[in-house]
């Protein structure tokens, strides 16, 4: 009986679906110090997880991919203009994603999401300049 219980528990553990997680990245404006940044700027997640970018102040921000794992999608979130507005993206392909806030990229507002593992250099696709 005990053996059966252990076997059943093992089977349940193997077949239980892995719960996808949700992460939040804040978009922060510190205009007094001319600092615009994502918090956290770097995040490691798993394939199937979702990242939600939240505008922390009344300012313009978005999140647009600049380099992605080959075969993934160059995501480009809409411009968020009000405090509390957010945009979510579900990462399904493993590898390294780099992104920027387009209005503040020149001020260093960039971020990185690593999904499962860091991409090898030859597996990264960089967005062509527009
Ligand atoms: Cu910004």
Sequence spans of domains, the chain: 19-126
pTM: 0.85
Q: How far is the CA of 81 from the centre of ligand 1 (A)?
A: 10
Q: What is the pLDDT along the chain (130 residues), one digit of tens a residue?
A: 566 666 665 565 565 567 899 999 999 999 888 899 999 999 999 999 999 999 999 999 999 999 999 999 999 999 999 999 999 999 999 999 999 999 999 999 999 999 999 999 999 999 987 6
First to last CA, the chain: 67
CA separation (Å) from 105 to 31, 35, 93, 95, 100?
14, 11, 24, 22, 6
What is the DSSP secondary structure assignment for residue 89, as one 8-state letter?
E
Tokens 């076997």 correspond to 7
CA of 72 to the centre of ligand 1 (A): 23
Three-class SS state of 21: coil
How far does residue 14's CA lie from ligand 1's centre (Å)? Answer: 42
| CATH architecture of the domain formed by 19-126 | Sandwich (2.60)
- And the tokens for 4? 């059966």
Q: Tokens at residue 128, please?
A: 């062509």
Q: How far is the CA of 51 from the centre of ligand 1 (A)?
A: 16
């Amino acid at each position: 009986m005990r053996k059966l219980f252990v076997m059943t528990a093992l089977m349940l553990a193997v077949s239980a679906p892995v719960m996808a997680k949700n992460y939040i990245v804040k978009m922060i404006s510190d205009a007094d110090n001319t600092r615009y940044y994502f918090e956290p700027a770097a995040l490691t997640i798993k394939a199937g997880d979702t990242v939600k970018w939240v505008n922390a102040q009344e300012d313009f921000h978005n999140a647009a991919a600049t380099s992605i794992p080959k075969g993934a999608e160059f995501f480009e979130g809409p411009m968020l203009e009000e405090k509390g507005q957010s945009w979510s993206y579900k990462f399904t392909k493993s590898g390294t994603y780099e992104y920027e806030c387009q209005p503040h990229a020149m001020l260093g507002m960039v971020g990185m999401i690593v999904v499962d593992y860091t991409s090898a250099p030859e597996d990264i696709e960089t967005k062509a300049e527009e």
